[in-house]
Structure formats: C-alpha cells, structure tokens
Amino acid sequence: TVRRLAAPDIAVRKGGVPIVCLTAYTAPMAELLDDHCDLLLVGDSLGMVVHGLPNTVGVTLEMMILHGQAVMRTSRKAMVVVDMPFGSYEGAPEVAYANAARLMKETGAQAVKVESGETVVETVEYLVKRGIPVMGHVGLRPQAVLVDGGFKAKGREVEERARILSEAKATAAAGAFALVVEGVAEGLAREITQAVDVPTIGIGASAGCDGQILVTDDMLGLFDWTPKFVRRYGDLRGEISKAVAAYAADVRDRKFPGPAEIYFAKAANT
Ligand code: KIV
Ligand code: NA
C-alpha cells in the first residue's frame, strides 16, 4: 500500500522541486488527480464551481464534509487539505477547534486551511498546538469579497503589501505547515517566500513560490471564469458540449440506442 503524504512531507519541501497542488471536489476527479499531485485541496471554491453560488460566503461545514469524504475515498497518495468555510473559524478559537476537529474526523483529511488575516493567527496556533495541521492563505482572500468589493489583486500599495507580508510571517510563526499566497505581484510573492520557512503555494502569485495551485475546473476549461492567472490546459466545456450535442442528435434521429446497445429476449424454453 502507498503511504499518503501528510503535512510534514509537504513542509520539508521548502525550496525544492515545486509542490504540485490542485483543487478536488468529487471522487472521480480526485482519483485522476491523485496520480499527478502532491496535494489536493477540497477548496471552498466548490461553492461557486460545483454549487453555483456567487461567492464562497454561503458554503457550509456540511458541504465541505461531504466533498471531503468523496475526495478521500478515491485518492490514495496525495495529501488532502479541506478548507474551513466562512463562519466556521473566525470567532473563538474553541469554536474553530470544534469545527476543524469535525472536518478532520468525518473526512479523514490530513489538514485544514484557513484564510489567515491577522485576527486568525491566534486560532492557527491554537489548532496546531492541539494536533490539527493548518495551511494558511494570504493575499487575495475570497471569503473577504463582501468587504473588499470583488476579487482583486492584492498588495499593490505599499501599506497593504506590508500588511500581507506581516500576516504571512505571523501565520508561519503560528505553526502553519504551508501558505497559499493568492493574487499578489511577483515581488511580494518572492518576498513572502523568502521571509517564511514553510512552503508557499502560489495562485496568481508567480513562479517564485515553492509550489502552485489552480482551481481544477478553471484549468480544465470546465468552469467558465478565467482570471489572468489561470492557464487553460483543457477545454472540457467544449468537449462536453460536443458530446451532448451528438447524443441529442442521435436520440432525435433514432440512431441511439443501436443494435449493440439493446437487450434481446431469451428464446422461449421448449
Ligand atoms: O477554495 C479554493 O479553491 C482555494 C484555492 C484556490 C487556493 O482556496
Ligand atoms: Na478557498
């Protein structure tokens, strides 16, 4: 049997071969991605990508648990990290702990991720000290979309840049085993990567990070939303559209099902 990667295996890869990460939400996709990835993130982006929500604010702990379970069932070697959803960790550390422990126990995942602004740093330390590996997430924080007024690149002004750098350092110092760095200019991404002793995983944050992550549905061309930082490695929308159009035409022309796709009655017993 293969041993599944865990937080310490990822943490030691600082500065080495870049860490390959993608999001995963379902069992069949997780099985495919597991062959190629070091880490699978059950991201709360699933609210938008799978459930059609306008942002990630409406995602619940129950949704994260169901998708986390699906991903754990079919992946074998990649580390699986589950996002803590909006409202499940920003208040008292004790509440965050209860929710994180539930995510870990009910999914079997190896860690949780939190969007780690300065108010969350204390909670990161609280969780790690009690045995829950935590991945941080700085820069563009999608759960803050309602105060930020949109998904925008971060750290372009000097003040904000300093704040993001200090949040990154504080999250690492609090014990996070890795940091997602999202939507920041290359200079800041490199500065953060140099300043912390845990791996940085970039998304829209240049090749200067210790690893990369993308939303799988974005890079496969399955979710129709392409920010500047997404590279399209596939066109699954086009593929699906073609396949469904062909099926619809065959059904209307009575070309499907054909002789090879139907059952025949057995000859009557004589
Ligand atoms: O929810 C998500 O998919 C994420 C990644 C993009 C880092 O947080
Ligand atoms: Na997320």
Q: State which of 42, 44, 45 you would mutate to test the pocket of ligand 1, scoring each by most atoms of that ligand within 8 A of its C-beta.
A: 45
- Rounded to the nearest angstrom, the distance between the alpha carbon of 265 and the centre of ligand 1 is 52
Whether 129 is covered by a domain: the verdict is yes
Q: Supply φ then ψ for residue 76, to 5 degrees.
A: -125, -40
Task: Tell me, using a 6 A CB cutoff, whether residue 178 lines ligand 1.
Answer: no
pLDDT at 43: 98
Give the alpha-carbon dihedral of 84, 75, 10, 213, to 10 degrees.
Answer: -70
pLDDT at 151: 82
Reply yes or no on whether the pLDDT at 266 is more than 90.
Answer: no
Whether 231 is covered by a domain: the verdict is yes
CB 183 within 8 A of CB 152: yes
Residue closest via CA to ligand 1's atom 5 equals 43
Whether 263 is covered by a domain: the verdict is no
pLDDT tens figures, 211-244: 999 999 999 999 987 889 999 999 999 999 999 9
Is 125 labelled as part of a ligand binding site?
A: no
pLDDT tens figures, 8-59: 999 999 999 999 999 999 999 999 999 999 999 999 999 999 999 999 999 9
pLDDT at 53: 97
Domain count for the chain? 1
136 bridge partner residues: 179
What does the pLDDT average to over 150-163? 89
Instruction: Tell me how far the alpha carbon of residue 50 is from its chain's centroid.
Output: 12
Whether 268 is covered by a domain: the verdict is no
pLDDT grade for 189, boundaries at 50, 70 and 90 = very high
pLDDT grade for 155, boundaries at 50, 70 and 90 = confident
User: CA-CA distance, 62 to 107, in Å (whole number)?
Assistant: 11
User: CA-CA distance, 55 to 46, in Å (whole number)?
Assistant: 10
Mean pLDDT of the chain: 96
User: CA-CA distance, 15 to 102, in Å (whole number)?
Assistant: 33
Whether 106 is covered by a domain: the verdict is yes
Q: State which of 83, 225, 229 you would mutate to test the pocket of ligand 1, scoring each by most atoms of that ligand within 8 A of its C-beta.
A: 83
pLDDT tens figures, 123-146: 999 999 999 999 999 999 999 999
What does the pLDDT average to over 81-104? 98
- CATH number, domain containing residue 206: 3.20.20.60
Reply yes or no on whether the pLDDT at 270 is more than 70.
Answer: no
Give the chain as a 3 state SS string. CCCCCCHHHHHCCCCCCCEEEEECCCHHHHHHHHCCCCEEEECCCHHHHCCCCCCCCCCCHHHHHHHHHHHHHHCCCCEEEEECCCCCCCCCHHHHHHHHHHHHHHHCCCEEECCCCHHHHHHHHHHHHCCCCEEEEEECCHHHHHHHCCCCCECCCHHHHHHHHHHHHHHHHCCCCEEEEECECHHHHHHHHHHCCCCEEEECCCCCCCEEEECHHHHCCCCCCCCCCCCCCCCHHHHHHHHHHHHHHHHHCCCCCCHHHCCCCCCCCC
Whether 252 is covered by a domain: the verdict is no
CB 84 within 8 A of CB 100: yes
ω before 257 within 30° of 0 (cis)? yes
pLDDT at 133: 98
Beta-strand pair 178-182/39-42: unpaired
The rounded percent of the chain whose pLDDT value lies above 70 is 100
Range of the domain at 74: 7-235
Reply yes or no on whether the pLDDT at 1 is more than 90.
Answer: no
pLDDT grade for 156, boundaries at 50, 70 and 90 = confident
Whether 12 is covered by a domain: the verdict is yes
Whether 258 is covered by a domain: the verdict is no
